[in-house]
Amino acid sequence: MAFELTYRPLENGKNQIYFRRGIINNTLLVPEKEIGCYLVIQSSFPLYETVNIPAQSLNISWQVNQDYASSNYTGQAPLACYPIYLITVGDDKNERLVYIGKTSSQSARFSSGHRAITKLHHPKYDGMTKRVYLCCIVFLKGSNEIQIEWIRSFEFAEKLLKQFEANLIFWSQPELNTQHMKKEPLFEYGQVHVQNITGETCFWHDKFI
């Protein structure tokens, strides 16, 4: 099914231990600057199948992870947060990025008449495969990986998400984006290493931004 998402970072015992330590000592959940970070492309869907993708919320995901740790990791771990999405057109070597966005916290973003999706009805995109990729964001603290939904405080995580999106847009220049295209944004976390682990395409795999 197009809307089946399965990645649960806190199923990993090492992650559980580190996250619990970070709740006690919040500095462990503040990423280091200038050492790089990751955009992990987790899931790929044809654009026409995205109507049933659940809405994503960094705020809700942040709280759910906190609650799961407070329960001593009882029950099923929460799904990863997918706060960034990419829209592409074309296939294989001809696949290209046309839009980068943050997922909506209020509604299923891809069923709400998004402006970029509307623009894809232009005749120049006729006959082209159109895909949506849902992405996780991972920062680093020494040798430890920190999901964006673990970062302390929530307000800081939200700020980093905005900076991360702006940085991706500026350096990628997607043709359907209009904001963050002209002025280089502040981003202090080094290069973004993209990893495509969808198993569906190789788009952007092992790319550095």
> For residue 13, is pLDDT > 50?
yes
Give the pLDDT band (50/70/90) at residue 112.
very low
pTM, full prediction? 0.92
Distance (Å) of CA 208 to CA 85, 129, 133, 137, 182: 17, 24, 17, 14, 20
Under 8 Å between Cβ of 103 and 85: yes
Tens digits of per-residue pLDDT, 169-184? 999 999 999 999 999 9
pLDDT, one tens digit per residue, over 115-161 is: 888 899 999 999 999 999 999 999 999 999 999 999 999 999 999 99
For residues 52 and 123, the model is more confident at 123
